[in-house]
Chain A
C-alpha cells in the first residue's frame, strides 16, 4: 500500500512526470492525445448539434477494425496505403453512427440508448470478426496481427523532433480535424443548420431546415471522427492490437471527459485532450511511489466533477443576474 507521506511527491510526479524524459515525454503526450482528441471531438461535435454520442467507443473500434482489415487484407497500393486504411476507418465509424442517427431522426429513438447498444454490438462484432479471421488473428497472443509497415501512419518527421517516443503523423491529422470541425461549426451555413437543429428542432423545421437530415449527418460526422480515432491508434505501428476481450474501448469514454472538459468547443477539446494525456502519462510514473496508475483516472474524474461544479455555479450566478435584469 502507498504511504501518505509520499502524497506530495506523487502529486509533483503527476504534474511533472510527463516532462521528466524531455522531448520523448512530450512526444508521448501527443501520442496519447491523438485518439482521445478525436473521440472528444466526436462527442463534442455531436453535443454542439444537440446529440449525446455515447457510442464513440463502438464507432472507434469499428473504425479500428476497418483500418486494420484494409491494411492487412488488401494488397498494397504503395506508400499511400495508410490513407486508404484511414479512409476505411473514417467511413466505417460514420456508418456505425448512422444507425443511431437514422433511428433518432425517423423513429424518435433516443441516441443515448441506441448508441450504447451499438457499443456492445460493435465490440462483439469486432471480436468475432478478428477471432474468426484466418489472416487477422494472432492465435498465440489472442489479438489482431500487426499491420504491415506500408500501411502504418508515417511519422512525418515528428520522430526526429521527439526521439524515442511513439509519436506519429496522427497528431497532425487530429489537429487538422479540430480546425476543420471548428470552421464547420462556426463559419459555415452547414454548421449554422446543424446547431440550429441541436438547439431547437421545431424552430429549425419552421425555418425550412431539413431537421431529419441534419440529425443523421451530425451523427455520421461524429461517428466518422471516432472511427478515425480508431484508425489513427491502431495503424500507428506502436504495438497496439485489437485484443479479443469483452471490454468496451476506453477511448470512447475518455472522449466524453475530453469533450466535457473542453466545453465541447473544438479548440477547447484540443487542449483538454493534451491535458488529459499529460496527466495520464504523469500517472504512469506514480508507480515509482507505489501508487497504482489508476489513481490518475480518479483524479481526472475529480477534475471533471469540479469543472462541472464550477459551471453549475457559473450558470447559477448568471441566472440570478438575469432574473434581476427581468425584475427591472
Chain B
C-alpha cells in the first residue's frame, strides 16, 4: 500500500451542478503530485472535500490505507493534512512566531511558553532552508516570506501531507525558484505534496505525477517526466492550445508614445531613491514593446504615470506628438490611449455595475451613448451585446450580468474588449493575463498581436518571462526604477533575460 492519500470516485454535487464528478486522486508517499485544471474545473472543491470543508455524496477517502471520514478541518489536521490557501490566513500584526503557534499554543500552568515553540520553529526553518525570522511582524515581510510562514505552520503541526493551492500565483520568478527548491527538500524528507496549479512549466519542473481534471470530471493521471507540456495542456483545456504565438516580423513605423526622463519620487519616509528613475523610451506603431521586470521595480508606478493615475515628478509624456504630461486621464483616454490596468477589480471595473454599464466606462459621455445628459439605453445595450459576441465573453445573464459575478477570465476579456474597441493608437496592457487560465491567456495574447498587426502600438508590462519572450518585439528591462537593458527577444535566452531582471547583469 504505497498511496498515502486515495480519494476514490469522489462526487460532490451542489444544487444544479456537479462540481466533482467521479474524480479519483491517488498520491504516493513522498511525491509532488500536481492537480491540474482550469479555473472552475473543480480543484478547490476536491481539496475542500479532502480538507473536510465539504462532504462528498459519493466516493471514499483513504489516508495511509485506512478509510476515513473527514468532517472538518480539525479532522484533517489530525490526519496530518495541512493546506496553504491561495490567500494566506495570517494575522498581520502578529509576529511569525505568534502566527505559527496560533491554535496550538504551548502553555505551562495557563501561561504561554513561547521558548519551546521558538526553538522548534528555528530548527525547522534551518532544516528546510526557509530562513524565516520568528520575531518579525507579518506585515513587514514579503509575500514570498509570508508563504514560507504558512509552510512552517504546517511543518510545526507535523503535517505529512501538504496541499499548496496556487502557491506561485503571487511570487516573483526568483521566489518561485526558491519555493520549488523548498518543495523538493520537503519531499526528500518524506512529506507528500499536492500542488494545485494551472501553470504547466512549474509542473514540469517539480512534479512527479499529475492528475488532470476538466469541468468537474476526471481526465487522467500522467507521469510528468514522460509527458509533453502540450499533451498536458490539451488534457486540461480539451483542445490544442498554442501558447507559442505565430506572429510575423514587426514593422514599426512612427512613434505613438514617447516618454522622456520620467522620474517619480518615493513618498515613503526615509526613502530618497526614485521609484521611477529617469526613464526614457518610445513605442512605435506596429510593435509590441514589453517592459520586463520583477514585481516592485517601479513598473506599476511608471504605467500609472503614463496613464495618468498618478503624477510624475519630472519628465515628459508625449502622445501622438503632443505633450500630455499634465493632461487629465480623460484627455488621454479620448486621444488614443487605452489601458488594461494591473488590478482589474480596483481599477478595471465597477464591479457592481453590469456588463453593459462597464462596457462604456470611458465613453458614456460621447454622442453615441449620451444625448443631452441622458444615457442612450438602447445603444448601450447594443454595444454591450456587440462586445459579448465579438470577444466571446461568457456570462450568465448577458449584458445584465453584474460583473462581480463573472469569472476572472471573463472580467478580463471584458476589459480587453472594451479597451481594444475604443480603437486606441496605443494599448497599454499591465499584466493582462495575471491569474488567468491557459485558454484565456491564449486568447488575450492573440488580441494583442492583432492590435499590433492593425498598425497600433502595444506597451506590455509582464512579470512572466515566457509571455515576455513570446509576445514582444522589443524588450526593455526595468530594475530598481531604471531601464537597464533594451533587448531583442530573438537574440537572447530566457535565462539571460532573468539575469537582467534580477539586476545581476546590465547593459554596457
Q: Which residue of B lies closest to A327 (CB)?
A: B19
The 8 A CB mask of A181-217 against B (1 = contact, 0 = none) is 0000001111011011001101111111110000000
Given A189-B365, A208-B330, A196 contacting B350 (CB threshold 8 A):
yes
A326 close to chain B: CB less than 8 A: yes
Given A189-B365, A192-B364, A206 contacting B375 (CB threshold 8 A):
no
Given A187-B374, A196-B361, A203 contacting B346 (CB threshold 8 A):
yes
Q: Which residue of A lies closest to B308 (CB)?
A: A208
Q: Does B44 lie within 8 Å of A327, measured CB to CB?
A: yes
A192 to B373, CA, bound (A): 10
Q: Does A202 lie within 8 Å of B346, measured CB to CB?
A: yes
A206 to B351, CA, bound (A): 14
B110 close to chain A: CB less than 8 A: no
A324 close to chain B: CB less than 8 A: yes
Q: Which residue of A lies closest to B362 (CB)?
A: A207
Q: Which residue of B lies closest to A193 (CB)?
A: B364
B486 close to chain A: CB less than 8 A: no
A189 to B371, CA, bound (A): 9
Q: Does A190 lie within 8 Å of B40, measured CB to CB?
A: no
A190 to B375, CA, bound (A): 9
Q: Which residue of B lies closest to A207 (CB)?
A: B361
Q: Does B405 lie within 8 Å of A324, measured CB to CB?
A: no
Q: Is the interface of A mostly helix, strand, loop or mixed?
A: helix
Within A278-328, the residues touching B (CB, 8 Å) are 322, 324-328
Range of interface residues on B (Cβ < 8 Å): 35 or more
Q: Does B328 lie within 8 Å of A208, measured CB to CB?
A: yes
Total number of A-B contacts with CB less than 8 angstroms? 89
Q: Which residue of B lies closest to A197 (CB)?
A: B350
Within 8 Å by CB of B405, from A192, A204, A207, A325, lies A325
A196 to B359, CA, bound (A): 13
Q: Does B347 lie within 8 Å of A202, measured CB to CB?
A: yes
Chain B residue numbers with a CB within 8 Å of A327 are 14, 17, 19, 40, 42, 44-45
B15 close to chain A: CB less than 8 A: yes
Within 8 Å by CB of A322, from B307, B334, B373, B405, lies B405
CB of B353, distance to nearest CB on chain A (Å)? 7
Chain B residue numbers with a CB within 8 Å of A325 are 17, 396, 405
Q: Which residue of B lies closest to A191 (CB)?
A: B375
The 8 A CB mask of B351-395 against A (1 = contact, 0 = none) is 111000100011011000110011101000000000000000000
CB of B18, distance to nearest CB on chain A (Å)? 9
Q: Does B15 lie within 8 Å of A324, measured CB to CB?
A: yes
Q: Does A206 lie within 8 Å of B374, measured CB to CB?
A: no
Q: Does A189 lie within 8 Å of B370, measured CB to CB?
A: yes
CB of A296, distance to nearest CB on chain B (Å)? 35
A196 to B375, CA, bound (A): 14
Chain A residue numbers with a CB within 8 Å of B45 are 327
Within B17-75, the residues touching A (CB, 8 Å) are 17, 19, 40, 42, 44-45
A322 to B44, CA, bound (A): 15
CB of B236, distance to nearest CB on chain A (Å)? 16
A149 to B356, CA, bound (A): 52
Within 8 Å by CB of A199, from B332, B353, B362, lies B353
A325 to B339, CA, bound (A): 30
Which of A188, A189, A200 neighbours the largest number of chain B CB atoms within 10 Å of its CB?
A189
Q: Does B351 lie within 8 Å of A199, measured CB to CB?
A: yes
CB of B321, distance to nearest CB on chain A (Å)? 21
A205 to B506, CA, bound (A): 37
A235 to B373, CA, bound (A): 33
CB of A145, distance to nearest CB on chain B (Å)? 42
Chain A residue numbers with a CB within 8 Å of B348 are 203, 206
Chain B residue numbers with a CB within 8 Å of A328 are 17, 19, 40, 42, 215-216
Chain A residue numbers with a CB within 8 Å of B346 are 200, 202-203
Within B216-267, the residues touching A (CB, 8 Å) are 216
A190 to B339, CA, bound (A): 23
A203 to B215, CA, bound (A): 32
A125 to B332, CA, bound (A): 46
Chain A residue numbers with a CB within 8 Å of B334 are 208
Chain B residue numbers with a CB within 8 Å of A195 are 353
B333 close to chain A: CB less than 8 A: yes
Chain B residue numbers with a CB within 8 Å of A210 are 328
Chain A residue numbers with a CB within 8 Å of B309 are 205-206
A209 to B369, CA, bound (A): 16
A326 to B349, CA, bound (A): 19
B16 close to chain A: CB less than 8 A: yes
Q: Which residue of B lies closest to A321 (CB)?
A: B15
Chain A residue numbers with a CB within 8 Å of B329 are 205-208
Q: Does B14 lie within 8 Å of A208, measured CB to CB?
A: no
A200 to B405, CA, bound (A): 16
Chain A residue numbers with a CB within 8 Å of B328 are 208, 210
B424 close to chain A: CB less than 8 A: no
Chain B residue numbers with a CB within 8 Å of A196 are 350, 353, 361
Q: Which residue of A lies closest to B216 (CB)?
A: A328
Given A196-B350, A208-B328, A324 contacting B361 (CB threshold 8 A):
no
Given contacts A189-B370, A200-B350, A208-B362, 15 further A-B pairs with CB under 8 A are A187-B375, A196-B350, A200-B349, A206-B329, A206-B339, A207-B361, A208-B334, A324-B14, A324-B15, A324-B17, A324-B19, A325-B17, A326-B40, A327-B44, A328-B215
The 7 A-B residue pairs with the shortest CB-CB distance, nearest first, are A208-B330, A324-B14, A327-B19, A206-B347, A208-B329, A207-B361, A199-B352
List residues of B whose CB falls within 8 A of some A CB: 14-17, 19, 40, 42, 44-45, 215-216, 307, 309, 328-334, 339, 341, 346-353, 357, 361-362, 364-365, 369-370, 373-375, 377, 396, 405, 407
Contacts A/B (CB < 8 Å), 18 sampled: A187-B377, A188-B373, A189-B373, A189-B374, A193-B364, A196-B361, A203-B350, A204-B350, A206-B329, A206-B348, A206-B361, A208-B331, A322-B405, A324-B14, A327-B14, A327-B42, A327-B44, A328-B42
